[in-house]
């Protein structure tokens, strides 16, 4: 505890100190760490001086991030939902992490290349609705989080109420806020949202005695993120982070599945793209083939009775080589390389400055991915002995130990992945906080009016890297009124941005002559209203009651 106070004087981590004090004053119940993944999710805890992944009742270390309705209408989650997918593909939801916090008009940025077996539609407020009921990706995620919460409670023998949830480093404000809401709907106080790369670095660096610059190469199911960290004497400082939300293991599987469907159409003349059941089966076998090609040079994909033609069932059987798979995904692999080069440039480092590479996510087992990582960071040593599937959850559990005071001498210095600013004259974006700035951070800037005797200005808060405001994401807007009459350019309007270690942004604008102030906390950029949160909580409560009736 004393160590943290000392570090506060050198690094602006006052938020960390306050949270630790709050934790020490509350009951000594565990804070669980959750890796809410696109394909699979895990929960871990710091217990007995060590982080440990909490197994399911059947002994599995992870659960499929899948939610389904069976033929009776019961909600299934995890393995039962995964097993149900062949019977009710249109009612089986997977990959919700790629949809969380997004608007319907952002579907093109989700990295989805194959038609989903379940229906996607636009809700009345422009968000993504899933299925006939138009359930949200946040509710689907809450169902998964609730299952992980109950799994932890069974293991620990106590009521679990607090959690740390990890997110990709390149998640924007809306996606982070939506993830936090999903946790709250599941009955969890989300005490921290932390980036997956820094969680992985925590798991890697906790027991290391040497100091090093480390590249965390994180290719999960839905996203690719890479961060450069400087680890020194218990301080984990992120130097830069970059990512691509359109690249991940699911996108690679989608690419292979699309190829297989096209090859079947060419051979048989039957187009399967409109058959959700057939495409679901093809996607399953494409996932298996992708895994197989990590160790084999060629695999054969077989799907029996995939289509009916002239009264006869036709089987699908197509051979795919590793070379062909790499060719199909060439542009995706190139985007991985480009992102790695970008993160090095942002950190002002050369590849030779990176001593070690921590590989995270199941997709890092792909042969081409291993090759790319070694090629970009050519002097770095790939760290062995770390399970890429579990390392993020382990790191989240360690962060829970930090906040509980069980892990000493650890300080996290994370960065904001996107620039944040305001719209100014001519529709331009003026950045107040540049991306890769260490958080927490506070920045002030003086602006003025654009018209004579202007009595009010609208502050439009933006997130992104483009020069024009219209090309960036709007986080929020508010009006500063009561400005004293004066020629344009005379009033002094001070705008202050404060971004805390949870990524929550406060914006304050003040007119110096009159002292008029207006402040807003940017927490609603996900577009999720309080009423909608309440509805999701009610829906989850009904699902939970149904589970209890069946158990």
DSSP assignments along 295-364, one per residue: T-SEEEEEEEEEEEETTEEEEEEEEEEHHHHHHHTHHHHHHHHHHHHHHHHHTT--GGG--EEEEESGGG
Q: Would you call 63 exposed, middle or buried from its count of C-beta atoms within 10 A (0-12, 13-18, 19+)? A: buried
> Pick the residue with more confidence: 209 or 435?
435
Packing angle of the helix pair 391-404, 196-205 (nearest 10 deg): 80
Which long-range CB contacts under 8 A does 272-278 form with residues at least 24 apart? 272/306, 272/307, 273/115, 275/307, 276/89, 276/90, 276/115, 276/117, 276/118, 277/86, 277/89, 277/117, 278/303, 278/306, 278/307
Task: Return mean pLDDT, the chain.
Answer: 85
Is 362 among the domain residues? no
End-to-end Cα distance, the chain: 44
Contact 66, 130 (CB under 8 A): no
Domain CATH number, residue 102:
3.30.420.40
CA nearest to 464, candidates 121, 220, 109, 13 = 109
Which tokens is 464 given?
A: 């992104």
Task: Please report, for residues 79, 102, 548, the alpha-carbon distance to residue 126 in angstroms, rounded to integers and kept in the order given.
Answer: 32, 9, 34
Catalytic residue flag (residue 213)? no
Domain count, the chain: 3
**The pLDDT value given to residue 132:** 65
Q: Output the pLDDT for position 322.
A: 97
User: Does 176 map to a domain?
Assistant: no
Catalytic status, residue 35: yes
Question: Is 236 among the domain residues?
Answer: no
In this structure, of 156-160, 259-263, 285-289, 453-457, the range with the lowest mean pLDDT score is: 453-457
Tokens 């005490």 locate to: 191
| Domain membership flag for residue 228 | no
Clarify whether 154 is annotated catalytic: no
Q: Is 178 helix (H, G, I), strand (E, B) or coil?
A: helix
pLDDT at 298 over 60: yes
* DSSP states along 407-445: S-S-EEE-B-SS-EEEEEGGGEEEEEE-TT-BSSEEEEE
pTM of this prediction? 0.82
**Domain membership of residue 464 as a residue range:** 420-522
511: helix, strand or coil: strand
Q: Do 514 and 429 fall into the same domain?
A: yes
- DSSP H/E element including 106: none
Quick check: is 173 in a domain? no
542 shares a domain with 497: no
Name residues whose C-beta falls within 8 Å of residue 491's C-beta, 6 or more positions apart in sequence: 448, 449, 454, 483, 484, 511, 512, 513
Instruction: Reply yes or no on whether the pLDDT at 446 is more than 70.
Output: yes
- The pair of structure tokens assigned to 126 is 């422009």
- For tokens 């710091």, the residue is 46
Closest Cα to residue 359, out of 373, 342, 377, 341? Answer: 373
* Active-site residue, selected from the candidate residues 16, 138, 146, 218: 218
Q: Among residues 196, 244, 250, 287, which one is catalytic?
A: 196
**CATH classification of the domain holding 457:** 2.60.34.10
Contacts of 235 (CB under 8 A, 6+ apart): 7, 11, 411, 413
E strand or H helix at 53, and its extent? Answer: strand 50-53
Is residue 202's pLDDT more than 60? yes
Residue 29 annotated among the catalytic residues of the structure: no
502 and 429 housed in the same domain: yes
Name the active-site residue from 35, 287, 414, 463. Answer: 35
* Chosen domain end from 283, 313, 330: 330
Q: What is the CA radius of gyration of the chain?
A: 24
Is the confidence at residue 318, as pLDDT, over 70? Answer: yes
CATH number at residue 275: 3.90.640.10
Does residue 127 belong to any structural domain of this protein?
A: yes
Say what percent of the chain tops pLDDT 90. 46
Q: Which of 306, 330, 354 delimits the end of a domain? A: 330
Highest average pLDDT, of 142-146, 279-283, 461-465, comes from 142-146
| Residue 356 contacts residue 363 (beta carbons within 8 Å) | no
Among 48-52, 113-117, 270-274, the range of highest mean pLDDT: 48-52
Could you say which of 330, 359, 392 is where a domain stops?
A: 330
Q: Verify that 542 and 491 share a domain, yes or no.
A: no
* pLDDT confidence of residue 27: 53
The band of 95, judged by pLDDT with boundaries at 50, 70 and 90, is confident
> With 60 as the cut, is the pLDDT of residue 6 above it?
no
Query: 45 or 543: which carries more pLDDT confidence?
Result: 45
Q: Are residues 546 and 502 in the same domain?
A: no
- Both 461 and 546 in a single domain? no
Asked if 149 contacts 448 with a C-beta cutoff of 8 angstroms, the reply is no
Whole-angstrom distance, CA of residue 413 vs CA of residue 411: 7
- Residues 258, 325 within the same domain: yes
Residue 224 lies in a domain: no
Residues 6+ apart with CB under 8 A from 35: 41, 42, 43, 44, 166, 196, 199, 392, 393, 396
Distance between CA 524 and CA 528 in Å, rounded?
7
Does 433 share its domain with 510? Answer: yes
Higher-confidence residue of 24 and 139: namely 139
Residue 157: exposure state from Cβ atoms within 10 A (0-12, 13-18, ≥19):
exposed
Q: How many CB atoms lie within 10 A of CB 23?
A: 19
Q: Are residues 512 and 546 in the same domain?
A: no
The predicted-structure confidence for 59-77, as pLDDT tens digits, reads as follows 999 999 999 876 666 788 9
Query: Are residue 431 and residue 466 in the same domain, yes or no?
Result: yes
- Say how far apart CA 226 and CA 343 lie, in whole Å: 7
Report yes or no on 391 lying in a domain: no
Instruction: Give the phi and the psi of residue 112 in degrees, each rounded to 5.
Output: -95, 115
For the stretch 378-408, pLDDT in tens is 766 788 778 999 999 999 999 999 999 898 8
| pLDDT confidence band for 9 (50 / 70 / 90) | very low
Same domain, 458 and 541: no
pLDDT grade, residue 169 (50/70/90)?
confident
């Amino acid at each position: 505890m004393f160590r943290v106070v000392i570090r506060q004087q050198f690094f602006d981590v006052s938020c960390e100190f306050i949270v630790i004090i709050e934790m020490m004053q509350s009951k000594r119940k565990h804070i669980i760490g959750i890796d809410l993944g696109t394909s699979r999710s895990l929960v871990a805890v710091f217990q007995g001086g060590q982080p440990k992944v909490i197994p399911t009742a059947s002994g599995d270390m992870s659960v499929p991030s899948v939610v389904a309705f069976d033929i009776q209408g019961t909600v299934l989650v995890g393995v039962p939902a995964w097993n149900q997918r062949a019977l009710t593909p249109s009612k089986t939801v997977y990959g919700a992490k790629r949809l969380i916090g997004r608007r319907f008009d952002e579907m093109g940025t989700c990295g989805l290349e194959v038609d989903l077996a379940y229906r996607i539609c636009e809700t009345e407020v422009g968000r993504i609705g899933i299925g006939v009921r138009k359930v949200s990706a946040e509710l689907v995620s809450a169902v998964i989080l609730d299952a992980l919460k109950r799994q932890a409670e069974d293991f620990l023998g106590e009521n679990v109420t607090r959690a740390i949830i990890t997110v990709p480093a390149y998640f924007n404000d809306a996606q982070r806020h939506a993830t936090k809401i999903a946790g709250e709907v599941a009955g969890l106080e989300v005490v921290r949202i932390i980036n997956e790369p820094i969680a992985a670095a925590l798991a890697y660096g906790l027991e290391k005695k040497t100091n090093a610059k480390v590249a965390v190469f994180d290719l999960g199911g839905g996203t690719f993120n890479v961060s450069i960290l400087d680890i020194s004497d218990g301080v984990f400082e992120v130097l830069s982070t970059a990512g691509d939300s359109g690249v991940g293991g699911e996108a690679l599987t989608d690419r292979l599945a699309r190829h297989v469907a096209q090859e079947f159409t060419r051979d048989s003349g039957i187009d399967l793209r409109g058959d959700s059941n057939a495409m679901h089966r093809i996607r399953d076998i494409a996932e298996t083939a992708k895994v197989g090609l990590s160790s084999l040079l060629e695999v054969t994909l077989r799907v029996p009775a995939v289509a009916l033609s002239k009264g006869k069932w036709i089987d699908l059987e197509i051979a795919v080589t590793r070379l062909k798979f790499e060719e199909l995904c060439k542009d995706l692999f190139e985007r991985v390389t480009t992102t790695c080069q970008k993160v090095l440039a942002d950190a002002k480092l050369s590849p030779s400055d990176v001593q070690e590479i921590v590989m995270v996510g199941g997709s890092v087992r792909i042969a081409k991915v291993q090759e790319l990582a070694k090629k970009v960071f050519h002097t770095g040593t790939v760290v062995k002995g770390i399970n890429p599937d579990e390392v993020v959850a382990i790191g989240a559990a360690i962060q829970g130990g930090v906040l509980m005071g069980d892990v000493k001498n650890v300080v996290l210095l994370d960065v904001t992945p996107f620039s944040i600013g305001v719209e100014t004259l001519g529709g331009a974006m003026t950045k107040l906080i540049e991306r890769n700035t260490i958080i927490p951070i506070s920045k002030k800037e003086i602006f003025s009016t654009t018209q004579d005797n202007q009595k009010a200005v609208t502050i439009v808060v933006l997130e992104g890297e483009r020069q024009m405001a219209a090309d960036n994401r709007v986080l929020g807007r508010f009006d500063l009124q009561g400005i004293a009459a004066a020629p344009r350019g005379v009033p002094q309007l001070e705008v202050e941005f404060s971004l805390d270690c949870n990524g929550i942004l406060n914006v304050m604008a003040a007119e110096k002559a009159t002292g008029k102030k207006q402040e807003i906390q940017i927490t609603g950029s996900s577009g999720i209203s309080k009423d909608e949160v309440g509805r999701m909580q009610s829906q989850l409560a009904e699902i939970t009651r149904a589970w209890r009736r069946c158990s």
